[in-house]
C-alpha cells in the first residue's frame, strides 16, 4: 500500500498547534530546500520523506532552512491510498 499527499496540501509550522482543527501533525526536520522557477519545495524527514510546497515569502518569513525543526500539517481528506 502507498499513501500519497500532494506537496501543496501540506502546511508547515515551527511548532505543534493545539488550537486547530487539523489533527494530522507530524514532527520533522527539513533536509533540503529546492528552489525552481516559482516553486519552493522543502524535503522534510518525518521518519520518511515528505515534499512540502511553500512560497519563497513563507520560507523567508519563517526562516526555514536545512536542519530546521518543523511540523507538517495536513487534513485527512488530502490523503490518497493506492495498492
Q: DSSP label at 56?
A: H
* Neighbouring residues of 39: CB distance < 8 A, sequence distance ≥ 6: 53
Per-residue model confidence as pLDDT tens digits over 44-82: 999 999 999 999 999 999 999 999 999 999 999 999 999
For domain 2-78, give the CATH number. 2.40.50.100
The predicted pLDDT at position 45 comes to: 98
- Predicted TM-score (pTM) of the model is 0.91
User: What is the reported pLDDT for 1?
Assistant: 85
How confident is residue 7, by pLDDT bands cut at 50, 70 and 90? very high
CA distance 78 to 23: 13
Amino acid at each position: 500500500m502507498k499513501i500519497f499527499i500532494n506537496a501543496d496540501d501540506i502546511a508547515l509550522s515551527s511548532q505543534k498547534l493545539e488550537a486547530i482543527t487539523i489533527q494530522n501533525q507530524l514532527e520533522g526536520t527539513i533536509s533540503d530546500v529546492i528552489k525552481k522557477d516559482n516553486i519552493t519545495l522543502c524535503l522534510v524527514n518525518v521518519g520518511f520523506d515528505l515534499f512540502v510546497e511553500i512560497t519563497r515569502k513563507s520560507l523567508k518569513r519563517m526562516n526555514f532552512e536545512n536542519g530546521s525543526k518543523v511540523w507538517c500539517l495536513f487534513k485527512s481528506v488530502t490523503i490518497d491510498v493506492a495498492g
